Amino acid sequence: MLRIAMEPDDNDLDEDSPVRLAIVNILILSNNLPPTHVLPPLLEQFPKLATSANPYERRGAMGALGAVMEGSPDFMADYIEDILPLVFRSLRDPEPTVIRAALVALGQITDELPTEVTKHHVTMVPVVFELLGSNNLEIVKAACTSLDAILEWVPKEAVEQYLPKLMEALLYIMTTDVDTDVKIIVAGTPFTL
């Protein structure tokens, strides 16, 4: 499945392409098999794939990581400190599909292991804020979702430092000629503070 997840894919994100279906199958496997049967091959290849010169391998690594989080958070907790730097690095990737996949993975990791991820909020929140200003609508949508997941778990006193920048970014999105879908996501995202 991981090999298929690394294939080139220019299809719409909503279409059932081979790449998308491979990620869905990885998710199903991680939810229905013991983690020791699904995760070792991914964990063994993840550092190499996440730093590969091939953007499809980087995107596939992030997509697979996000997919396994739901089914194996306890198992993944032991590896998350080694994996997070590669996810953070992928947030600054030159390829939009890699950035989007990293944002989705970060959101899923945060949903499953919030305390491990939010320890790093000082490093990652500014990067995700930057991505809210991307020209790529899929990145903006994924950044909104990721930011919501992160801020839900950041201690309230720490969130205060982000409020001015958050309000500025959200106001910009709501008052400019940004895609309606993005505005709907922003309006519907509670950004639990």
Tokens for 69, please give them: 């989080």
| C-alpha dist (Å) from residue 78 to 54, 82, 116, 156 | 27, 9, 10, 26
| Burial degree of 90 (CB within 10 A; 0-12, 13-18, 19+) | buried
31-35, 153-157, 162-166, range with greatest mean pLDDT = 31-35
DSSP 79-143: THHHHHHHHHHHTT-SSHHHHHHHHHHHHHHHHHSHHHHHTTHHHHHHHHHHHHT-S-HHHHHHH
Hey, what domains does the chain have and what are their CATH numbers? 2-188 (1.25.10.10)
Instruction: Quickly state the pLDDT bin for 156 (edges 50, 70, 90).
Output: confident
Condensed to tens digits (0 to 9), the pLDDT of residues 15-41 reads 678 888 888 888 898 899 999 988 998
Q: How far apart, in whole angstroms, are the C-alpha atoms of residue 133 and residue 131?
A: 5
Q: Is the per-residue pLDDT at 191 higher than 70? A: no
Average pLDDT, the chain: 87
Structure letter (DSSP) for residue 70: H
Q: Is the per-residue pLDDT at 64 higher than 80? A: yes
Specify the pLDDT at position 25.
87
Instruction: Quickly state the pLDDT bin for 163 (edges 50, 70, 90).
Output: confident
Q: Is the per-residue pLDDT at 168 higher than 90? A: no
Q: What are phi and psi of 57, to 5 degrees?
A: -70, -40
Q: For 5, what's the count of Cα atoms within 13 Å in the CB-facing half-sphere?
A: 26
Looking at per-residue pLDDT, the higher value among 188 and 143 belongs to 143
Condensed to tens digits (0 to 9), the pLDDT of residues 65-116 reads 999 998 889 999 999 999 999 999 999 999 999 999 999 999 999 999 998 8
Average pLDDT (53-59) is: 95
Specify the pLDDT at position 14.
56
Residue owning tokens 């790529």? 136
Tokens for 36, please give them: 């020791």
